Amino acid sequence: MLQRLDLKGTGDEAERLAGSSGALTAVQQLLHAIEARASANAVPCIIDPSLPQIAERQRFFVASNLHNNEKLLPHFTLQLLSLLLQLPKGSTYVSIYESGSRDRTGEWLELLQSLLLLLEVPSSIVTGGLTRAEGEDRIDFLAQVRNRALEPLWRGAGGNGSAAVSGEGFRADRIVFVNDVFFCARDVVRLLAQDGDLLCGMDFHVDVREGWDRHWRNIPAAEIMPYGPHGPQLGYKHQNHDHLIFYDSWVSRDLSGIPFANSRPFVLHQYSLARLQKGLPFPVSCCWNGLAVMNSAPFQQGYQFRTHRRGECEASEGSLMCEDFLRAGYQKFIVDPGVRQAYFPETARKLYTDKVSFIPLTTWDEVAAAPEPDFGFGPRRFHMTCCRKQAGGDIVHWEQCRPGEVFTRTLGCDA
């Protein structure tokens, strides 16, 4: 049974991480200050007592890029601390790369740095990093700052705790990449409890500016049907935004390589939709969605985020990562609809209510009792639909989506 978490108890649990009574006192003082500042943007989190403990032998690298996130950081800091409390001590490195902020993001990160130092958590927190130059391609810039956040994987960044890395870099089994989203520690633990090369939740928002949602043209929202590699076209329709809508449809692709829509039923692939309707994790061809847990092996071998090459789709750095992973044989990608993120507190407060229509909220016990996601229901050969970005701009041409490169799945699927 799911329960709501009161963050005010976080300080009482910090003793497990703090190395001395003096450090514990300092940590508690910092937490009280954070909690006092967090009230305006407080987001209650759900906890799941049925979640398993993470194995002692695993090591994790938590990375994030932040920009003008003063309002997010009180919640972000408390949930990051809650996550560290749930992972084995000494197992986790935290790397945050901030750039171009004009608010008090840097001050909050200095406080977080002090907190991690007291808790002896190895970390690298960079403030005042790269800023996007006028005319610089957005995806090229995002790839650069993501790679800066991952630098401690490849070479020592000093760290600040007793387990600080040296010149060889931090050896991690899995990477947790958190966007500037309102997330819960329980979300990360639930993704870490699953096996896969890329695992994501679902991110939601309310577009109060326009109220237009992407959907499949000429297909009723309630109709379930198979479709070929060209798939249905994405169009727009006006929606009543009483319910939240899915955000990251530029990156997310179903098992056939077709983009998610941002209104229900979100995916049309029959097998995936059947699992989504039950609130169960389902296989996909790509995802990011504000929170991603990745197999670190490609990155430990030197993989870096990148922009498109000549002749490639002008896609996001996350989309290109999926394609690069697929080519290299890392193909087990999963979206868990029980893990949900949002970009604003008022939206985040609705994530586990009926405002997220169509998707039941499952406990880990229910997920563990169900069959694991089966990639055999996907086609062996599929197109990754390309919805290219405007050259030199930030606008995606949804009306010009087309079949992209053909990929072959090698996970034991039928021909």
d(CA 303, CA 407): 20
Q: Note the pLDDT of residue 210.
A: 45
Percent of the chain beyond pLDDT 90? Answer: 58
pTM across the whole model: 0.86
Angle at 128 between CA 125 and CA 131, to 5 degrees: 120
SS (H, E, C) 305-350: CCCCCCCCCCCCHHHHHHHHHHHCCCCCEEEEEEEEEECCHHHHCC
Regions of the chain where pLDDT drops below 50: 5-9, 158-166, 209-211, 216-231, 412-415
Q: Note the pLDDT of residue 181.
A: 96
Q: Note the pLDDT of residue 224.
A: 35
Q: Note the pLDDT of residue 393.
A: 73
CATH topology of domain 58-158+166-180: Rossmann fold (3.40.50)
Which residues make up the CATH 3.40.50 domain(s) of the chain? 58-158+166-180
